[in-house]
Structure 1
Amino acid sequence: MPRDLPHDRPHTAPDTVPDATPYDIDAVRAQFPALESGTAFFDGPGGTQTPLPVVQAVTDALTRPLSNRGQVTPGERNAEALVSGAREALADLLGAHPSGVVFGRSATQLTYDIARTLAATWSPGDEVVVSTLDHDSNIRPWVQAAARAGVQVRWAEFDPATGELTADAVRAALSERTRLVAVTAASNLIGTRPPVAEISRATHAAGALLYVDGVHYAAHSLTDIDALGADFFVCSPYKFLGPHLGVLASRKSLLESLRPDKLLPATDAVPERFELGTLPYEFLAGTRAAVDVLAGLAPGGASGRRQRLASSYAALTRHEDGLRRRIDEGLAGLACVTVHARAADRTPTQLLTLDGRSTVDACHHLARSGVSAPSGSFYALEASRRLGLGDHGGLRIGLAPYTSADDVDRLLDALTDFLGQ
């Protein structure tokens, strides 16, 4: 498989660390109608609330002339513009090239599609590596594809005491027969950001491909798939303010080397050969709008969208880090709380268990207090089990761009009230 060509992204300037652009939380929150409900939302890792520009973009797409893609009628041209605009926006967000951006129903569906396609190139005796830190959508498709192809699955284990998945843990699972490594860029359960770039170097030295689950990562970190060394990177716009669909980014040359199942009259062009049926044009419009909202979280003087995204993500990181410290300090004062998100590098996502108390009951109590923080393992079954939490997991607290200090105080007050402290 070709793996040596860059993504050839069309950005005119390298990503830089911008100055400390202010983060106006009130201006950000004003864009989200759902916040008028009065709920403090800490369920962002499962899906964020939707800003008005995304709603308007979806509405505009559906109320203008729209038909199958082409260049003859207004509806055809509108559809073509929506697709190309969304590809360009996601390329800017992920550090990719538009020709390598594939759309699908979900990240899970895209991973299954790529797993089936790659498995057709494997032989008995080959190996794939998955990690216990990952969401099941980056485990089960590879495990099932490996079983059908007669390929061995090897596991990279994370340390439950620290929450860390090291490159050495992945390296220990590699061999000359490794064909693919699947790893998360950020755990949706405990936020751990593994050293993906180092894992990539080890993976490529073994002659294998690297498939990166960036669903949780892309919501909190500006992605550069070349810097990460990802051969495939998958994410979900509804985790970063957009509609429900999935996105996969890769190199055009690598996609051209793969032969997915497709209908006979469907185009064989890349990336379209991976997109089954007619695309959801209105959701592509919403996805482009979501990227533009992200790029405008911290308005500044940057001219290009990639540069505006860099500025906004830097400001968002400062905002979320401050709130995360506020949460961690509040939780430290609650004697019966055990925190499981402990990695040195992690997203603003925390998983709790409560000595002698049910996190499901805690979730219900918080909901009655106007605070949304769910309980579960959130499809990260292997991670939950390795933490000793079985399939039940714990109470997950996740931040989003619209989370405020007042939200955090309401969360801590409601949790304190539940615990009777």
Structure 2
Amino acid sequence: MKFNPEVVEHCRRQFPALSRRVGDLPAMFLDGPAGTQVPQRVIDAIGNYLAHNNANHGGLFATARDSDRLLDEVQRAAADFLGADDPETIYFGQNMTSLTFALSRALAKTWKPGDEIIVTRLDHDANVTPWVLAAKDAGATVHYIGLKHDDCTLDLEQFRQTINSRTKLVAVGCASNATGGVNPVRDISSWAHQAGALVFLDAVHYAPHRLIDVQALGGDFLACSAYKFFGPHTGLMWGKRELLQKLTAYKVRPAPDTLPGKWMTGTQSHESLAGVLGCIDYLADLGHMVAGSDTLDRRAALREAYEAIEEYERKMCERLMHGLSQISEIKVWGITNPTQFDKRVATVSITHDRYNSAELAERLGRYGIFSWHGNYYALQLSETLGREPAGMLRIGLVHYNTTGEVDRLLRALEEV
């Protein structure tokens, strides 16, 4: 069983936010790239922790021991979610941005003048500025990889030519949060490793759409945020064990020197971690449903879920892109060739001939359609395309959206 109407409705019933109305109209959530809605089980998990298990970990009493068990289980669930074989190589923080800034400070201590760092003009600024500032502190040189304006994909030839023996770090996103394009990070990681460089992967926008496999993607570090894949505001970071052990973490003295505690600054939001477990298990249960089996282990169930999600979202994206192509005043930024849709996720940025992105978002909002305007922190991209300060309008489809919503959006855009 894949994503038939019964499965879609089963998913939608689990998200309380989807019952919201704007006047007489049902709300339509196309703002997922800025943060998805959450299923009831995530809300319940957070509330249950605060009501019954709220304590710091490491204590010699019941609620502290419950917290310890929860944190151990979240580590295992996160390892299953990321495809990591070692739960201790995953740690948590406020969000991907905070975790990346902390790691950049540690890595910068290993750099010196003459070293080179590579970032891209396609990425969210959380995968650009932390490395630029760290390079400045170390006296290292930063190179920016450009993009092809026709489809907003990275200039891979420039990428290959820029990596050299002086390169210490390559930072690249798995998928663009603005255009939806999926980058060939496996190839990029291979080029970097051949030159002796490390690779940092931003999987924030990839996580709700494609199955993450840190082994297959090939990076040395990978970060994502649970609030982009149906969970609470918490960031996840994975790194290779030998690197996490070797690097110096900025931490207080009583904090452990062992993984993963070495990299977790201060007490974590335990209630949010309970929600992270809830959203991962929501996805795994979805995998059990589409596979028609409840005997799969969590990783296998997640694989089934994401195969179904990818297929369903691609069909919605094809429908959306076809409809947008019929509206002469709208331009789509990114991959528009249907034969290349395997290289994109269902996130689409558009501009309108007569309305800027804020005006268009406001007009759609009157129809109960929630979309995002501006640059969505993909500042380098927006500047490169000459879209500042207005940016673009972003439409983000995830698996709780429907083809009926796609049609409703297209009708609204035609009326606008």
**How many residues are paired up?**
400
Q: Give the structure 2 partner of residue 94 of structure 1.
A: 82
Q: Give the structure 2 partner of residue 320 of structure 1.
A: 313
Give the secondary structure class of the aligned counterpart of 2:10: helix
Q: Give the structure 1 partner of residue 391 of structure 2.
A: 393
- Do the aligned partners of 2:201 and 2:219 also contact (CA within 8 Å) in 1? yes
In structure 2, what is the Cα distance between the partners aligned to 1:388 and 1:338? 14
Q: Give the structure 2 partner of residue 185 of structure 1.
A: 174
Q: Give the structure 1 partner of residue 23 of structure 2.
A: none
In structure 1, what is the Cα distance between the partners aligned to 2:112 and 2:14? 52
In structure 2, what is the Cα distance between the partners aligned to 1:291 and 1:401? 15
**1:30 is matched with which residue: 1, 8, 13?**
13
Pairs within 5 Å for 1:10-409: 20=2, 22=4, 24-37=7-20, 38-70=26-58, 72-96=60-84, 97-298=86-287, 299=289, 300-301=292-293, 303-342=296-335, 344=340, 345-409=343-407
Alignment RMSD (CA, Å):
1.3
In structure 1, what is the Cα distance between the partners aligned to 2:405 and 2:212? 27
Per-residue CA distance 1:188-208 (angstroms, 9 max, x = gap)? 000111100000000000100
In structure 2, what is the Cα distance between the partners aligned to 1:169 and 1:27? 46
- Kindly indicate which of the two structures has a greater share of residues assigned to helix: 2
User: What amino acid is aligned across from residue 238 of structure 1 in structure 2?
Assistant: Y
Per-residue CA distance 1:165-211 (angstroms, 9 max, x = gap)? 15433212112111000000000000111100000000000100000
Give the secondary structure class of the aligned counterpart of 1:375: strand
Scaled by the length of structure 2, the TM-score of the pair is 0.94
Per-residue CA distance 1:35-76 (angstroms, 9 max, x = gap)? 111211101000001110000110111111332212621111
Give the secondary structure class of the aligned counterpart of 2:153: coil
Greater mean alpha carbon deviation, residues 292-301 or residues 102-111: 292-301
- CA apart distance, 1:368: 0.8
In structure 1, what is the Cα distance between the partners aligned to 2:344 and 2:285? 24
- Do the aligned partners of 1:156 and 1:172 also contact (CA within 8 Å) in 2? no
Q: Give the structure 2 partner of residue 15 of structure 1.
A: none
User: What amino acid is aligned across from residue 397 of structure 2 in structure 1?
Assistant: L
Identity score, percent: 39
- Do the aligned partners of 1:105 and 1:246 also contact (CA within 8 Å) in 2? yes
In structure 1, what is the Cα distance between the partners aligned to 2:99 and 2:110? 18
In structure 2, what is the Cα distance between the partners aligned to 1:411 and 1:117? 45
In structure 1, what is the Cα distance between the partners aligned to 2:156 and 2:189? 9
Q: Provide structure 2 residue ranges, at least 5 long, that are not aligned to the other structure.
A: 21-25
Give the secondary structure class of the aligned counterpart of 1:115: helix
User: What amino acid is aligned across from residue 30 of structure 1 in structure 2?
Assistant: R
In structure 2, what is the Cα distance between the partners aligned to 1:342 and 1:289? 34
Per-residue CA distance 1:3-25 (angstroms, 9 max, x = gap)? xxxxxxxxxxxxxxxx8575711
